[in-house]
Chains A and B, each alone.
Chain A
Amino acid sequence: METWGAQHAAGGRLPPSLRVLRYHLFSYLRTWRSSLTTSFLAPVLYLAAMGVGLGSLINHHVGTVDHVRYLSFVAPGLLAASAMQVAASDSMYPVMAAIKWIRTYYAMLATPLAVKDVVLGHFGWVTVRLVITSVAYLGIMAAFGTVHSALAPLALVAAILVGLSFAGVISAFAATQENDQGFATISRLGLIPLFLLSATFFPLRQLPGWLHPLAYATPLFHGVDLCRMLVLGQLDWVSAGWDLAYLVGLCALGLVLSRRLFTRRLVV
């Protein structure tokens, strides 16, 4: 090596959390092919199978569900559910890998980046992923003729909020784990029951009364409720207000928890 730069601009201009987001984008652009099927194909298959397959059965025997044909009823539910799935899967193994196996976060923390930048950058990346998958999904919904309202584009915001509310608490959890056993538990005892029982596939009133409070306590129900209202144009302001407050509150909690637990794990 001949000469060493005497000085260089310390720090740089782009906000540090955006530099983390930029890394995630770069890495994704190099490796996207491997995740294409899981994050996108699955919800589309569900829509086809449940909506069209099951739907034709229901339409024939029961008629409409909540005044719409079954496909239109189930599609926005699946929009919210796929947002949950994308956010959850981006917040489990990738976070653990970045902490424990590949140690990407440690590489970042050796530079001018700090834990808050790592957390915000992760959230920013999950948001980008949610926008991409949800926009594509809404497009497919429109193609299937299940979009009935001018408010439907706002369902994108609802989907993002649902996703982020899961991303926050699950990332925070991932930061505390030494192995992936907890992830299996979250999937089996958390995500899958939520998927089945949050009014995704059938109205809540089909379930016994004592299960209703359980549904109200979980984020997916509120996300499904909000998405459905916006896509079908059946807006109930009070209900929507509660849904929004719940989701925003959980996002904020997830952000705070993530920052705290990431710091506890990474800065020892």
Chain B
Amino acid sequence: MVTARRLTKAFGDLVAVDHIDFDIVRGESFGFLGPNGAGKTSTMRMIACMSPRTSGTLTVLGRDPETDGPAIRARIGLVPQEDSLDLQLTVLDNLMIYGRYFDLPKKVIRERAERLLAFAELTERARDTVEPLSGGMKRRLTIARALVSEPDLLILDEPTTGLDPQARHLLWDRLYRLKLAGVTLVITTHYMDEAEQLCDRLVVMDKGRIAASGSPAALIERYSTREVLELRFVGHEPPGHDSLAGLGERIEVLPDRVLVYADDAERALGELEGRGIRPANWLVRRSSLEDVFLSLTGRTLVD
């Protein structure tokens, strides 16, 4: 569906996307995981044929955005990071005007709107003005709007940023259903749980480059251990590296905690106590994509 080779986007001296390669296959849910400023949005705008690339090749649905922008945009849907809903019009009107940009017949738009509003759980608000709706509702409306043209590819740029947990889970559920229906999804996010929940495959992006790619499970297996022991030392200095040496495969010292990466974290904990080290707080958890990112870049996803 999408192929990129040495894709680059520069704004003057600032290189936002630095010669990246990726392939997105039909029917999959593909993610771009990275912190703010990694170049995810710039990449999305290039795929959505809204931003010209600086160099490299990019094909979307078999065509080149440079020459076939409008034709490609006729078959993809974009859910941008910032809302672009018409606040003074109603929910239904917003779907109508968008569908008319594609020159879809009014009757067709109305039929699709009915299904899409049910999908987005907005049927009861169909005739309400958009402005007073909550952030979650507006985001669901934007997704419904992007689906009016029944696109082959749906691009979502940070779809749950700024939403409360309930809204996020509702959205994830909806996106999962879309995936099951066969829509190819491209998602950017800086939330590791979102990437783990939604993506079949993903690339980890940082400072314009791709640090790693693969399925969530494969990335965790490759770049992290199975479990993590989190330690907090409140009020006194954390023990030096020497005293923690050998506890696990890797140790990461963060400003607020120490992470001990081991395949068996309980055992590491036992050994910790055996060495006489008493943390104020500890917990054992499974590795996540956050740990993958930390291992690859030395930084956390969310700062």
Taking CB as reference atom, which chain B residue is nearest A20?
A: B101
Q: Are B84 and A11 in contact (CB under 8 A)?
A: no
Majority DSSP secondary structure for residues of B touching A: loop
Q: Are A22 and B100 in contact (CB under 8 A)?
A: yes
B74 touches A4 (CB 8 A): no
> What 0/1 readout, one digit per residue, does chain A (92-119) give for beta carbons within 8 Å of chain B?
0000000000111011111111100000
A242 interfacial contact with B, CB 8 Å = no
Name the B residues within 8 Å of A268 (CB-CB). Answer: 11, 51
- 17 extra A-B contacts, CB within 8 A, seeds A8-B150, A14-B103, A22-B100: A1-B119, A4-B150, A4-B182, A10-B74, A12-B74, A12-B102, A19-B103, A26-B97, A30-B89, A31-B89, A106-B50, A110-B73, A110-B78, A112-B74, A113-B101, A267-B50, A267-B51
A-B contact pairs, 18 of them (CB 8 A): A4-B183, A8-B104, A8-B149, A11-B71, A13-B103, A16-B70, A19-B101, A26-B100, A27-B88, A27-B89, A102-B84, A106-B80, A106-B84, A107-B84, A107-B101, A110-B48, A112-B71, A267-B50
Contact B101–A111 (Cβ < 8 Å)? yes
Q: Mark A131-173, 1 if CB is under 8 A from B, else 0.
A: 0000000000000000000000000000000000000000000
B267 contacts chain A at the CB level, 8 A cutoff: no
CB closest chain-A residue, reference B118:
A1
Nearest B-chain residue to A268, judged by Cβ: B51
Interface: A2 (CB within 8 A) = yes
Question: Most chain-B Cβ atoms within 10 A of its Cβ — which of A2, A10, A102, A114?
Answer: A10
Partner among A8, A23, A110 whose Cβ is within 8 Å of the Cβ of B80: A110
**B221 is an interface residue with CB less than 8 A from chain A:** no
Interface size class of chain A, counting residues whose CB lies under 8 Å from the partner chain: 20 to 34
Complex Cα distance, B85 from A106, in Å, reads 10
Interface residues on B, range: 35 or more
Contact of B101 among A4, A13, A23, A102 (CB under 8 A): A23
Instruction: Scan B269-302; emit 1 where CB is below 8 A from any A CB, else 0.
Output: 0000000000000000000000000000000000
Q: Nearest-CB distance from A117 to chain B (Å)?
A: 9
Residue of A nearest to B148 (CB): A111
Residue B222 interfacial (CB < 8 Å): no
Q: Is the CB of B75 within 8 A of A23?
A: no
Q: Check if A5 is an interface residue, CB within 8 A of chain B.
A: yes
Shortest CB distance B199–A (Å): 20
| A180–B69 alpha-carbon span in the complex (Å) | 32
Say whether, besides A10-B75, A110-B73, A103 and B82 are in contact (CB < 8 Å): yes
Interface residues of B in 73-114 (CB under 8 A from A): 73-75, 78, 80, 82-89, 93, 96-98, 100-104
Give the nearest-CB partner of B119 in chain A.
A1
- The residues in A between 49 and 101 inclusive whose CB is less than 8 angstroms from any CB of B are none
